[in-house]
Structure 1
């Protein structure tokens, strides 16, 4: 797209999931092209802006971090699985794994070959931890240098990683007429099964970017845990919601609200003010 733009063409990118409804069953290049033309002809079609090389490099930070987190989880599960074969168990939690591996190295009841292999896995795990720490430092530096990302991180439940991901991965927020439509793009709105005048709402659609949705739900879950704890820390809206809904349902509803607040901050340039922004989001949707 960047190369075509340099050649003087007006380039418009469409997200694959928005083209899929217009493609016939039997997939081939011709039908794909036909589906693209049909999708592009729609007056309300939303386009993805062409990323600069700097933006593409920033996106790599998120991608590499996700791969390292997945590798760390895989190694942790592998170590615990093999240890269980020798009757060795440890409480869950990455913070306990290093001490667990050190104990295995000193356990004479474990065969020497197994201890060597555990030591090899430990070295791999430590290397992943070092690389992950370096990547997260770069991501934090990027977050601190971006004004929009810093403003998004003011929202409860949105940390530096989620804020940076919203700035890097979300489409142009001005392409959405409301925060409700932005939340719908993220797949945080319920499926509509209404018929014959009867409104029936189901589970969330799970459309849009899966990773962004996961980050928002994880952040919302952390806020909900504080609200149901002993100190009952949370907004009046959330505490009232928890009286009617399960914590999981409340977390998804809060993630939806966080997405709408994020849209508001990105489109207006405002800083987060709980009372003012919550009122505006509630009124405008």
Structure 2
């Protein structure tokens, strides 16, 4: 019988590989190490290869595509319901195959190396920001016992820290402590700025960078993260699907004739959703200064709703605009607001 699909359960060193015909009959069930997997896949006829979208899946996806295979990555949450019996590598591999046969499964696009490099920079920046916050909070706490209070905010903390480094009224131990923390804090600031500089230069050179940057409320950090995560949005059938994937759509509880809509679902990538909502907040603060249709819509919504509700709704609209422009590969053009006739 002819091989139709290969299902692979990924791991770090050992991989479970199962082959199936187009009728679902199992042809082989092997346990291979990394080198054996590469050699084995090179010998197989070109077919469909399905894997769970998880650790190292994009690397293996690119590797198998270079061999001529048609690769599909399945979101992990869609594989779990198909696991039968005890959890083991064989049952997981079988579940991946069964999930891939479902008609409405949406596969994850394989990311390029450039996309993954950009996302690594974003993750590193997030870790450094967390370390910087922890460093400042710790120093704020320990110096409170000495009657030293720092101003609120990054700028105020940095200025106060510089003043304390040369404060002769402090003991030798405290001055040493402050100078040591200042060196660490300055290093973190420099590393964060270097990463942001790198992200900015990369997104400005990207073909879709100017498209996303033309949208109100979208800066280079947002643009870099979204393009690295979704490309041109080819994985989504519509702007609505993209907004739902971001978790910006309301949750629905429906049964029979009764349907209740609650808060946003918060599904999808939390980092992308956070960036978009922060961009929407910045847009709301300046919406009253502009007269185009989008900013007027934001102002009218703000009059009826709370700030946070307006921010989420604006982020939802920005997500729809982003997907549409990426699909058309065209820049954002402000629309003239329609006059309300009495």
When the two structures are superposed, what TM-score results if normalisation uses the length of structure 2? Answer: 0.74
Aligned length: 276
CA RMSD in angstroms comes to 2.5
Distance in 2, matches of 1:218 and 1:7, equals 42
Matched, 1:236 2:296: yes
Distance 1:8 1:147, change over 3 A: closer
Q: Deviations over 1:128-162 (max 9, x none)?
A: 11111111111111011013122111111111110
SS in 1 for 2:255: coil
Partner of residue 89, structure 2: 29
State how far apart, in whole Å, the 2-side matches of 1:27 and 1:107 are: 62
Query: Which of these residues, 236, 246, 256, is aligned with residue 196 of structure 1?
Result: 256
Q: Which structure features the higher share of strand residues? A: 2
Pair 1:176-2:236 in alignment: yes
> Is the partner of 2:262 in helix, strand or coil?
strand
Mind listing any 5+ residue stretches in structure 2 that lack a counterpart? 1-59
Which stretch of structure 1 is more off in the superposition, 255-264 or 1-10?
1-10
Aligned equivalent of 1:103, options 142, 159, 163: 163
Whichever of the two has the greater Rg, that structure is 2
Structure showing the higher helix proportion among its residues: 1
**Distance in 1 between residues matched to 2:182 and 2:199, nearest whole Å:** 25
CA gap of 1:35–1:88, structure 2 versus 1, over 3 A, is: farther
Partner of 1:246: 306
Residue 269 (1) aligns with residue 329 (2): yes
- Contact kept in structure 1, 2:203 and 2:223, CA below 8 Å: yes
User: Structure 2: how far apart are the matches of 1:190 and 1:21?
Assistant: 24
Q: Which runs of 5+ in 1 are unaligned?
A: 280-285
Q: Superposition pairs for residues 92-171 of structure 1, below 5 Å?
A: 92-170=152-230
Aligned pairs (5 A) from 1:212-223: 212-223=272-283
**Higher RCO, 1 or 2 (CA under 8 Å, sep at least 6)?**
1
